[in-house]
Structure 1
Amino acid sequence: MAEGFQAKADTSSAFSGLDRLTGPIATKLARSMGVASGTVYRDEAKLLAPKDDGLLASSIYLAYKDNRSNDDSVTYSITWNAKKAPHGHLQEFGHWQTHVTYKGSDGHWYTLPNVPLAQPRWVPAHPFLRPAFDMARERAQQAAIARGRERLPELLRDTYQPPDDDFV
C-alpha cells in the first residue's frame, strides 16, 4: 500500500476550546472531524488525479491509522491503493523513464523491460495529492468545524447520565 503524501495543517484556532474535552468524547469528536476534513481532501485528490484510465482516481481513499493514533491524537491518511494503481507515485512525483513504453489496444500502458531508451528522459509529475491539500484546506477546515458542531451535542447527549432517583 502506498504511503501517500504527508501534510499537517494548523487547526489550533479552529479547534480552540476543544482541548478541554478529554477521554472518549474527545476521541470520538476528533475522529468525526477528521473524517469530515479528510473526505474533502480525498475528494479533491480524486478530482485532480490523472484521468487516463481512471484507475488512480478510483483507488484514492481515506483511512484511519490506528498505529499512529492514540488518546491525544488521531491520524488519517489519504492515499491510493497501490495494488489497483501501482504507479501512483510516478504521477505524484515524476520519474525517469528508462525503457520504451507503449499503450496497448486495451488502453493500458506497458513497459518493454528488454528495450532501454538510448537516453533516459524525465517524465514530469502530475501531482494530485499535494495540490489537493493546498486547494481544499479551507473547505476541509470548514467541514471539520461543521461536523464538530453537529457531533458534539450528540456525544454529550449520549453520555449524559441523569441523577439517580434513589437520593431524591
Structure 2
Amino acid sequence: MISVDFDFNKILLKLDKITGATAAAVRPAAQAGAQVFYDEARVRCPVSDSAHFFYGKNSKKTGVRYFFQPGNLRDSIYQFYNTRDQRPGTASYSISWNHQKAPYGYMVEYGTSRAPANPFLRPAYDAARGLAVQRVNEVLQASLKRKDA
C-alpha cells in the first residue's frame, strides 16, 4: 500500500492572498472601467454652436424658460459609485447627466415627436466597452502583482 500526504497550507495561503487582492481591487478596477465610459460619453455628447432656451412642461402657463450655454449637457455628465446594486465582490458605477443642470438631456438622447434623437450614451458604451474591459483587467492584474511581490 502506498500512502501520500500533501500539505495544502501553502496553496491555501496563496489562494487567500489572491482572493484578498482581488477583493481590494474590485472598486478601483470598476472605477477605471467607468472612467473610460465617462470620457467617451463626454466626447460624444453633442454641443450646440450657440446658447439656447429650454421651455419646461408648464412654460405656457408660467412663462418660465431656462437659458443654457453651449456645452452645458456635456459638462453635466458625471459618474458615481452606485451603492444600490452592490453585492459582495462587485462594484457598480453609473454614468449619466445631471437632470437638474440639463433637463433637456433625455430629449437629446432619445428625441421627441419633433426632433430626432442624437444619442451619445449608448454609442459611447458600444465604442468603449472593449477598452473598459481591458482597463479593468489591467487594474486587477496590477493588484495581484503587488500582492505577489
User: Which TM class, normalised by the smaller chain length?
Assistant: 0.5 to 0.7
Larger Rg, first or second structure (1 or 2): 2
Name 2:26's counterpart in structure 1: 30
Alignment of 1:77-92 (within 5 A): 77-92=94-109
- The 3-state SS of whatever aligns with 1:61 is strand
**Aligned equivalents of 1:134, 1:30: Cα separation in 2:** 22
- Percent identity (aligned): 35
Name 2:80's counterpart in structure 1: 63
TM-score normalized with structure 2 length: 0.67
- The 3-state SS of whatever aligns with 2:34 is helix
Name 2:138's counterpart in structure 1: 146
State the shift of 1:70 in Å. 2.1
Query: Which structure has the highest helix share of the two?
Result: 2
21 and 75 in structure 1: CA distance in 2 versus 1, 3 angstrom threshold: farther
Name 1:135's counterpart in structure 2: 127
Q: Which amino acid aligns with 2:40?
A: E
Name 2:35's counterpart in structure 1: 39
Q: Which amino acid aligns with 1:51?
A: V
Q: How many residues align?
A: 112
- The 3-state SS of whatever aligns with 2:123 is helix
Query: Residue deviations 1:73-122, cap 9 Å, x none?
Result: 221101111111111111111112xxxxxxxxxxxxxxxxxxxxxxxxx3
Structure 1 gap ranges (5+): 1-19, 97-121, 161-168
Q: Would you say the 8 A contact 1:32–1:151 is kept in 2?
A: no
State the shift of 1:125 in Å. 0.6
TM-score normalized with structure 1 length: 0.60
**Aligned equivalents of 1:60, 1:70: Cα separation in 2:** 26
